[in-house]
């Protein structure tokens, strides 16, 4: 009973704060879809999903730090974990940024986007490596209010700076700069939130097995984030600039359900990780799944009854093509939300050591989207099929590993 109350309480706090953050992101998107042309908005959406792909590092680092913070009760040892993680993350981000700048030449040509815009998006690598370290500590310490507040700080500055720079004529450059500066400010603010940890005397922490644990976390996160991002990136390749803008509208709206249920998964993770027995852990998972299901049902009802109104409120215009694909893309994102919940549960219980197999449904997603892109409707239903395969695969691989 206590575990369920903790998950519901933590989820409620994170649902309020994270979804306030999501509202800020929604306002940001509303502003950009109105201030930019459809083609510029398509470019911004594509670049934004490169930033989301970088979140592979962000999500996996936060999950690992959260797991090891749960184990440590001493602020001095948590400080040691954070210091070591920040130093290593900075080095890795620099190396990857250099590699990304070279790869950006191909990306720019393949997606028909200016090279310097692609390069600017790469700066987000630094925040993707650094910001989740302190956030992981907040999550592991179950400081859900502080974690949510940190996200709100990021969203607020991203909105204010991004809109201001677009208004003065920086267009997509201004929108991307807002994203990067917002993340940097939130990272700086996290040191204030953890001042009790950072003011303590540093003592060496025991982190045996952190790299072996980090590997499946990274691979699982890689699969989820890549799956979440590839549809808009491939749409940029297959469709005209106008149609990419149309798809970006529906995709951005539909992904609200994925980001909106993230707080439930995040609240479940540290609670499940420290559960004393299998029964308690499964009860935590069941509670979290019921919450995700309830949110998903409400979302589907709204999308089914009011698709045109939702698209109009978001974009400020009637875009019939976006209306017609909103429901299937939403279904795809709900399936992915359940996959994410189930994967995080198994990571918390150290039961997903062979997460590399989750790359298989991602490959199938690419194959399906390549095979079925004669229209936006066909493309969207291919995404639903790929999402269903991903969910079934995440359950199957975890079950096979448990049997072993």
Q: In sequence order, what E strands does 191-270 have?
A: none
How far apart CA 76 and CA 199 sit, in angstroms, is 9
Report pLDDT for 222: 80
**Token pair belonging to 350:** 């150290």
Instruction: Give the Å distances, CA to CA, from 247 to 240, 242, 274, 319.
Output: 10, 9, 41, 10
Report pLDDT for 86: 87
Over the chain (404 residues), the average pLDDT of each successive run of 10 is 52 71 82 82 78 72 76 76 85 88 85 84 83 84 82 91 89 88 91 86 68 71 82 83 83 85 76 71 82 91 90 78 89 92 79 72 89 89 92 76 56
How far apart CA 24 and CA 346 sit, in angstroms, is 31
> To 5 degrees, how large is the angle CA 360–CA 385–CA 291?
95
Nearest to 193 by CA among 242, 148, 163: 148
């Amino acid at each position: 009973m206590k575990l369920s109350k903790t998950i519901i309480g933590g989820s409620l706090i994170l649902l309020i704060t994270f979804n306030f953050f999501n509202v800020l992101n929604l306002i940001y998107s509303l502003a950009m879809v109105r201030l930019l042309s459809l083609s510029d908005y398509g470019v911004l959406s594509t670049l934004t999903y490169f930033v989301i792909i970088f979140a592979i590092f962000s999500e996996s680092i936060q999950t690992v730090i959260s797991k090891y913070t749960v184990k440590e009760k001493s602020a001095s040892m948590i400080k040691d974990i954070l210091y070591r993680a920040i130093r290593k993350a900075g080095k890795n981000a620099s190396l990857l940024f250099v590699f990304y700048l070279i790869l950006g030449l191909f990306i720019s040509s393949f997606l028909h986007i200016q090279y310097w815009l692609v390069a600017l998006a790469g700066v987000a690598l630094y925040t993707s490596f650094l910001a989740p370290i302190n956030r992981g500590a907040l999550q592991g310490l179950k400081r859900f209010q502080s974690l949510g507040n940190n996200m709100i700080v990021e969203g607020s500055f991203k909105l204010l700076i991004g809109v201001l720079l677009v208004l003065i004529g920086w267009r997509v450059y201004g929108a991307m700069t807002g994203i990067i500066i917002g993340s940097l400010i939130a990272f700086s603010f996290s040191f204030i939130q953890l001042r009790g940890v950072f003011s303590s005397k540093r003592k060496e922490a025991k982190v045996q097995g952190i790299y072996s644990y980090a590997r499946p976390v990274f691979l699982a996160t890689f699969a989820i984030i890549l799956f979440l991002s590839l549809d808009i990136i491939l749409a940029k390749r297959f469709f005209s600039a106008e149609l990419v803008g149309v798809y970006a509208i529906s995709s951005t709206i539909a992904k609200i359900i994925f980001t909106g249920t993230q707080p439930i998964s995040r609240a479940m993770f540290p609670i499940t990780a420290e559960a004393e027995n299998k029964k308690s852990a499964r009860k935590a998972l069941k509670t979290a799944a019921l919450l995700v299901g309830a949110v998903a049902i409400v979302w589907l009802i709204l999308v089914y009854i009011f698709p045109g109104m939702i698209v109009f409120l978001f974009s400020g215009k009637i875009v019939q093509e976006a209306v017609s694909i909103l429901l299937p893309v939403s279904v795809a994102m709900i399936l992915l939300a359940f996959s994410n919940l189930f994967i995080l549960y198994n990571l918390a219980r150290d039961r997903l050591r062979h997460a590399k197999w989750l790359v298989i449904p991602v490959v199938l997603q690419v194959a399906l989207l390549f095979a079925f892109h004669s229209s936006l409707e066909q493309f969207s239903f291919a995404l639903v099929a790929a999402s269903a395969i991903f969910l079934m695969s995440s359950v199957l691989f975890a079950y096979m590993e448990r049997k072993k």
